[in-house]
Structure 1
């Protein structure tokens, strides 16, 4: 059965999934790339990277997914809906390789890219978007790709079956937080934590049946 999953989503010790302000030059605001340095050091990211616990989690990034849902701020910087030439951060061959649904109040025509990625632009609630993405996923899982507000909204709506979040030992102080409004989330999910020698902690949340 198709599941809805979050995977490899990094947050700071104080729960921020990105810094601020976001811009074309700084997609993650003042956080820079610090939330993702743990992944850059893995074999998943490059042949010179390390194996181990971080790599084992990172390697699951594309496993079993048939569609992705992301927020408008993951697709582009503020103002991108006003630029018809904007095609995302990732060049002509984005790393998703599935139908990818961008939640935006400014829908546009689908954007077909190389490598199997087609961006679809939806003005929809989390439940509505998930219904569309599941239909496109061909029985595979749907990834909730972020940013932080989208992950939070899908968790709050009870739509996530499994979530993997990586707690990175930095304090950002400002940005967009994942956990706001999710009081007692542990009642709905079994939570496991795995510490890594890199200093990050891998949290997995599995919905209680």
Structure 2
């Protein structure tokens, strides 16, 4: 069965998924790149950018699993780029150059219409103005039997979490303190939404934690004996 999942989303020890003062020069905010130091060193990251080499082991294995069985992605507009307000033109095509690392349909949440953007390598960005549910419906249709991966940023993940729409959440806790920025889980009661810790594994660089939404079971109620039957039986 296909899942809606988040994978290798890096978080600081004090709970921030991005640093403060994000801008064109610092898209992850001040100190934000430190969260992903473990990922930047992996063979998987290098392969995404057409390069050889990189570390193997636990971190690379976790990173590689994040791209398995993914049929579509969902991104917030901030994750796609720094442009604000209406799209003045189609010149901004993302942070990734001519060949983004997704190689699937990608659905970008925005308040402003824009025509789909086809890129080299099989990535097509679709700009969705109808909110998180429309984006998920379209992503599921595009993914067919494969998973839908929500890439971020923080506000997008929080929206899908609050709605209980994420099946599996894999977070990578980096040994970094940012002191400010965008908190990922602040004010979200994960157990009340049905989420539980499933697994965790540590490397020398980071702690990988998986949280998943558990099925809710209704209690089995005992069958009540009708009052009239009880009277007939002398009860």
Superposed displacement of residue 180, structure 1:
1.9
Match of 1:123 in 2: 129
Contact 2:5 2:150 in 1 (8 A): yes
- Whole-Å Cα distance in 1 between the matches of residues 38 and 54 of structure 2? 10
- Whole-Å Cα distance in 1 between the matches of residues 85 and 190 of structure 2? 36
Superposed displacement of residue 185, structure 1:
3.4
Count the aligned residue pairs: 208
Query: Structure 2: 5+ residue runs without aligned partners?
Result: 47-51, 216-235
Find out whether 1:193 has 2:200 as its counterpart. Answer: yes
The Cα RMSD (Å) is 1.6
- Whole-Å Cα distance in 2 between the matches of residues 139 and 90 of structure 1? 27
- Whole-Å Cα distance in 1 between the matches of residues 85 and 60 of structure 2? 33
Match of 2:30, SS state, is helix
Superposed displacement of residue 71, structure 1:
0.3
Match of 2:41 in 1: 41
Find out whether 1:104 has 2:100 as its counterpart. Answer: no
Superposed displacement of residue 159, structure 1:
0.5
Structure index of larger Rg: 2
Find out whether 1:113 has 2:138 as its counterpart. Answer: no
CA 1:176 to 1:32, structure 2 compared with 1: closer, same or farther past 3 Å? closer
Query: Structure 1: 5+ residue runs without aligned partners?
Result: none
- Whole-Å Cα distance in 1 between the matches of residues 163 and 39 of structure 2? 29
- Whole-Å Cα distance in 2 between the matches of residues 120 and 73 of structure 1? 15
Match of 1:64 in 2: 69
Superposed displacement of residue 48, structure 1:
2.9
CA 1:80 to 1:166, structure 2 compared with 1: closer, same or farther past 3 Å? farther
- 1:74-93 alignment to 2 at 5 Å? 74-79=79-84, 81-84=86-89, 85-93=91-99
Superposed CA deviations along residues 99-118 of structure 1, whole A, max 9, x for unmatched, are 00000111211111111100
Contact 1:93 1:114 in 2 (8 A): yes
CA 1:83 to 1:33, structure 2 compared with 1: closer, same or farther past 3 Å? farther
- Whole-Å Cα distance in 1 between the matches of residues 164 and 119 of structure 2? 31
- Whole-Å Cα distance in 2 between the matches of residues 153 and 94 of structure 1? 25
Give TM-score scaled by structure 1 length. Answer: 0.93
Superposed displacement of residue 78, structure 1:
4.2
Contact 2:190 2:196 in 1 (8 A): no
Match of 1:14 in 2: 14
